[in-house]
Chains A and B, each alone.
Chain A
């Protein structure tokens, strides 16, 4: 892995100045002569402005706003790099925006803002709402990210998503749904251990509860051990991390204490989203889990333990965050299509049931007869999965009454398919025309 990461890094840092960024704005209307600007721009454009002034929602139909989102960060927790500042976060935001466009046909602006405090962050994003169709929050430190997401979700009339929370949680749930199907266990009956209590697992716990897991039997473990309502830092959490505090009250009804070792005894499922391994989760702990155990090791770049170690220790199904192992729990499977569906429906928000619908569509994409221990979740190559997930999200937006433009499943499916296909064709055409320069050879 180290060698491979080094090689990718070397290529990336050489290509970054060669291309000078990953995205640019390309017109989508014909310009035959300068005269056309009298329509696209002043004086003709004033008529469009007047129409929107009369009915502000028309901005979601008469301008590109409907398909434009911002990928916003303050750079306080970028990848595994930590608080590297907004400028240094830009390459990641550009990459994310690229995936949005390529896999979801979504126009995403990478925005890196100088706003360390949650109050300032919320204020800046709220001010941006009139020009955007959606907000994707990215790489913001925990617990600030919970407050920022909750406040923006409550106050904005456009979809708001924090991928490190909702993205990871929904893909994890999809993978878990299929894994449980494989081993013949039910979500409401299994004992789940979440190791790591950062943005990902806190969001996963919240989503698992909504999906029907028994939250009182769910065990969260962090650097201080098993979380329970009487752990010594609970008062501190009440003030500093109310989201984790809330889970301290709800989970672990039996007030089990100790560490991951104790938590795993007899557990059916482990979802680790903690610190890079190997050696963070010990095989002897996995050995103490219940039969047909399910082990997700989501730390990047190196999972908490190697997947083969987990298998040798008796885990029946293992997933990681890596593309070079089977069962990659990968956010990219969800965020482009969640926005595709939400934007097509002109949704006012992304409800929890839309997140659950996305997760279910992702899980259902793997047909029962192809389901196996090494295939519980689609890969990014299965590009049609994006269309299915988008349609499910748009349909659910309609059911939840948050769609300004209510679409049936079939309508949403067709739209999403067209938009995503078009996006890929544009890129291919630009490459064919050499308007996108071919990759130079990098040593």
Chain B
């Protein structure tokens, strides 16, 4: 394992990004039965990531080690219509392969992404399953705090 570099995603990363996105959704599934993944996860992931890469309002960045993509972050830039600061960079997907965890890499990857988002966003938010304690600890350590809760129940 070398020291990964961070860079914006390219179309040629798509296959690998689909795989990493499915891993992320499978991980989320472990936390909550209401996060059960759909059967068409493969196709949906492909479309979702391909759209994001071509959208001016999204950012997809990857961590690459020795030519292999080993993690990715997907964020959206959006306007907060009632609150200020107005422009928000919302991190919606964040995944690193297991052997790249617990080495401080996640934090530097996040800082890299925030640097890119900073040009257009004044506040950075992150979404993850409520029961993901690892994510809670990670963001808390990096001085994030919970500002909105999403509660769910089935109809």
Chain A residues packing against B (C-beta within 8 Å): 229-230, 232, 234-236, 238-240, 245, 248-249
B15 interface contact, C-beta 8 A: no
Chain B residues packing against A (C-beta within 8 Å): 23, 26-27, 30-31, 97-99
Contact A239 B30 (CB under 8 A): yes
14 contacts between A and B (CB under 8 A): A229-B97, A229-B98, A230-B97, A230-B98, A230-B99, A232-B23, A235-B26, A235-B30, A235-B98, A236-B27, A239-B30, A239-B31, A240-B30, A248-B98
Query: What's the Cα separation between A245 and B30 when bound, in Å?
Result: 15
Query: What's the Cα separation between A150 and B23 when bound, in Å?
Result: 29
Query: What's the Cα separation between A207 and B61 when bound, in Å?
Result: 40
| A240 cross-chain contacts in B, Cβ below 8 A | 30
Contact A245 B26 (CB under 8 A): no
Contact A249 B30 (CB under 8 A): no
Query: What's the Cα separation between A53 and B99 when bound, in Å?
Result: 51
Contact B27 A235 (CB under 8 A): yes
Query: What's the Cα separation between A234 and B99 when bound, in Å?
Result: 10
Q: Distance (Å) between the CB of A352 and the closest chain B CB? A: 22
- Counting chain A CB atoms within 10 Å of each CB, which of B23, B26, B97, B98 scores highest? B98
Contact B98 A236 (CB under 8 A): no
Query: What's the Cα separation between A239 and B29 when bound, in Å?
Result: 11
| A245 cross-chain contacts in B, Cβ below 8 A | 98
Query: What's the Cα separation between A155 and B99 when bound, in Å?
Result: 29
Q: Name which residue of chain B comes closest to A246, CB basis.
A: B98
| A234 cross-chain contacts in B, Cβ below 8 A | 98
| 10 further interface pairs, Cβ-Cβ under 8 Å (given A229-B97, A239-B31, A240-B30) | A229-B98, A230-B98, A230-B99, A232-B23, A235-B26, A236-B26, A239-B27, A239-B30, A249-B98, A249-B99
Query: What's the Cα separation between A235 and B21 when bound, in Å?
Result: 12
| B98 cross-chain contacts in A, Cβ below 8 A | 229-230, 234-235, 238, 245, 248-249
Contact B97 A232 (CB under 8 A): no
Query: What's the Cα separation between A230 and B27 when bound, in Å?
Result: 13
Query: What's the Cα separation between A202 and B31 when bound, in Å?
Result: 25
Query: What's the Cα separation between A248 and B98 when bound, in Å?
Result: 9
| B97 cross-chain contacts in A, Cβ below 8 A | 229-230
Contact A235 B99 (CB under 8 A): no
| A229 cross-chain contacts in B, Cβ below 8 A | 97-99
| B99 cross-chain contacts in A, Cβ below 8 A | 229-230, 249
Q: Distance (Å) between the CB of A369 and the closest chain B CB? A: 46
| A236 cross-chain contacts in B, Cβ below 8 A | 26-27, 30
Q: Name which residue of chain B comes closest to A229, CB basis.
A: B99
| B31 cross-chain contacts in A, Cβ below 8 A | 239
Query: What's the Cα separation between A240 and B98 when bound, in Å?
Result: 14
The 3 closest A-B pairs by CB, nearest first: A235-B27, A229-B99, A234-B98
